[in-house]
Structure 1
Amino acid sequence: MNNTFASRHPRLHWVILLLVVPGVILLLDALICGLLIPLLAPQWQEDAGTVTKILLWGSGAWLVDRGLRIFLWEGAYRRATGTSAPTVLVGAAAAAIYTIAALIVLTEILQLDTGAVLLSTGLVAGVLSVAMQNTITDFFSGVSLSIDRPYQVGDWIEFEDGVLGEVVGITWRSTRIRSWHASLYVVPNKKAANSILHNYDRPTRVYGYWFHVSVVSTVSPLVVRQLLQQAALQCERVRSDPAPMIYFCDPGSVPYKYMVYVHFDNYPWRFAAIDELSVAIHQRLQQAGISPAAVTYELQTRRAEKTTAMMPGITEILRDVSLFAPLTDAEIGILARGLSVREAPVGERIVAEGDEGDSMLVLVSGVVILSRTINGHEREIERLKTGQCFGEMSLLTGEPRYSTARALTNVWLIEIPRTAFAPLLARNEKLQAGLADLASARRKHTEAVQRALFSRGDTLPSDGHAARIKALIREFFGH
């Protein structure tokens, strides 16, 4: 009877054990009584029978415990609830079974007076229950939570006192919750069991959210509703099922008020999704020539100088990149022609390892993760911040993308194609040297990461990277 058979046919395996184990014990008892007992002293003869009875009760308790696990906990309980039985409940049932079997063995077989033992045990238990009242309450509250399952590991929950976060652990005494601040709450199970709880992941992980948008009353509500619906549908993080709903909810107010009701894949995505949706609504209304409704207040005013806030232009952004320090202002202006800033939302794969590419990207704002496939797994090798560049090897040498780049935050990028870069690079040796040094340093860093992960790195000598890259640049650009 091997483990494979037991795992495939647990019930049949248990029935066979129920028939075989007691039979084997009784057979051994019969053999011992027939062959060895006549040769032993009378006292040993009685002890042999006692051992047989103890083995029968012990094996019986084990078979009952195993039967409960197979037929009740892993069978009926899972079918009724759809989840596995709580470990605390299974352990408590097993402890009760073995305790009953031990008492029967002590009382009926060994003929011991267990009354005094039980009385003293009860007194000790009473003293301990008073001294450990809170711990015991937490324990039984943990059992209650395990049975009721108002939340599981991975759920986002909020208690009535404002404790909010992701459940990362549930023990017999407490629930551990990781907050938005990446800190840890430890909530006693007694409090968790008696508190009003908001589970953001039940009954499903889909999270519904609504907010109000005010638009001037001179614009037709039919037009506004259509624009708001289009803005919601164009957002990747807004679910199309359930579909976004737009309601003209307060026609008596001025300006008119509209409710936007949408759903996201899960609660943690709410901030990024609300940001995307708000920007989309602003763009739709702006394209239609609709300005946000003004709210009127009675204010005391004074004359002040007008201030204007503007985003820096492409030229100013490139001038702040250290890599382009060898370029003159005129050359920076030439390079900036035709370029624009684009946004990549959180999680977007900007470039993929192995893809063809002929451009370099400058990180204007945000954080980008560079990773490579090492031993079949994607491993992070570097994090880039504002003002840094990536993709330089493809631009310089025409090689496929050396690494995958993903947006860790919302990022803004400038993509510089080879056609814009080639004329400046061809006649500026300092720029060539700076790019070669950058590519060489990044390649060395990647090799160091690979060696740390017990993976074979590039076969080229590390100290020859810069010279090799310079040669490839000259060859690629025809110099």
Structure 2
Amino acid sequence: MPPEFQLLLAKSVGMAIAIYATVWLAFFIPFRRITSPPRHTVHLFAVSFGIWAAAKIYFPGETWINHLGAVLIFTTALFLWVLLDCFICGAWLVRRQKIQIPTIIRQLGGMIVVLTVGSCILKWGYGLELTGLIATSGIAAVILGFAMQDLLSNMIAGFSIHVTSAYRVGDWLLLGDNGDRAEVTEINWRSTRLIDNDQVSVEIPNGEIIKNRIVNLNYPTTEHAFRLKFEFDYDVPPTLAKQAMLAATTNVQGILQSPPPVAFLNKYDSNSIAYELRVWTRQAKLYNTICTEIQTKLWYEMKRRNIQMPLSSTTMEIRKSNGSANSALAVTMQAENAVSIALDCLTPEETKGLVGTGKTILFGPGEAIVTCGESGSSMFVILDGEVEVIGKSSGTEELILATLGTGNCFGEMSLLTGEPRTATVRSKLDTLVIEIRKNDLSPLIDANLELATRLGDLIERRQRELTAAQDGSHTNKPASSNAPLRRSLAERILVFFGQSST
């Protein structure tokens, strides 16, 4: 290779690199703020332009430069189309006009540009008549048509999906016979891409989708219903089973209260009665969350209502009665200890009487034990677990007022005076409580009216301690008692329990 040629080649390579870098930087700086800049086509255009310009400068008159020019024309046309698509479809229509152009239409436009420019280059640049090529390659076209049968089928199916608007990007679909749910993320000329609730990407050819039933959960509106199936033993009354299912839908994120949930008795099986629970939602992506929350809450509802799940015909149930007795005794002792602390004005005999008639209840995480504003005539003592006392801030946001643990109690004023609940109490963990109702306390007050005074003293003392804690009072001076308040509380307690206050 002559030294002169080597020098020209080195200069041309350097010039090509310099032109490439200049062109790339010229487009890179304004494209930084664009969500999907045309990076690949910018590189192709910059490379082809740099090589063509360097060859034109250092190798003028060479015939092979025409081939570089053809490549430059092709890459320039492709780059201009991508640039137009990026600014018109991606920036202006989507951001300002809020119009979403289907991906398949944009890809089809790119294919038309590529075929048109390629045909023009072959005809006017190389003198090739495409009609002659097509006419003389009929056999090849037939073979190619058979080979591309599936591809063409998917393309036609893709057009059909867009024309009929069967589904769009962002819609949730039911897939297959098993009813898997997935969100449409892209519809291109060959396939539809979806992401399911496990964040797994699924790509299905368009031709396969249109052959099956399409269930779109977002059309005509996002509001739709789905059903959960449950089985209950024949010993469980249908009314009780339906009540438990409906109670499990309260305070579940994503469930609509209008239309309300509905429970159905579906059929009688050999070992159980089958039920269905229909709920409505506008958020298809929360399907798994809604199902698991309902089923979790139903377990606690069944536990509280003494409902057992049906056993299969091949299941043998063996239970140890001694363990159950020991467990019940431990819970009773725990309840007596907790109640004696919460209501320290009671005698040991009165405490045992309350625990004996009280009802132990298990609540799951996130369940509301009492709700602000509702009527009530009972109090709760926490035997195990933890709860949050929730109020309302100036807006609609929840405000956590306190966190209570084992041994704490709440609802005393509702038990003693029948006042509505002043706050919502919600369990944070699995929480076991004992509920002391008006009917449980009434025999004790009937037998000893002085108990109302002791309970009034207890409430007055706790209110005084709470006020001192909120005011930051830490003085050693003993707090003065409020005799009128004690008398007022005692009188209200007696009146509420049907006793004379005189």
Normalising by structure 1, we get a TM-score of 0.40
Normalising by structure 2, we get a TM-score of 0.39
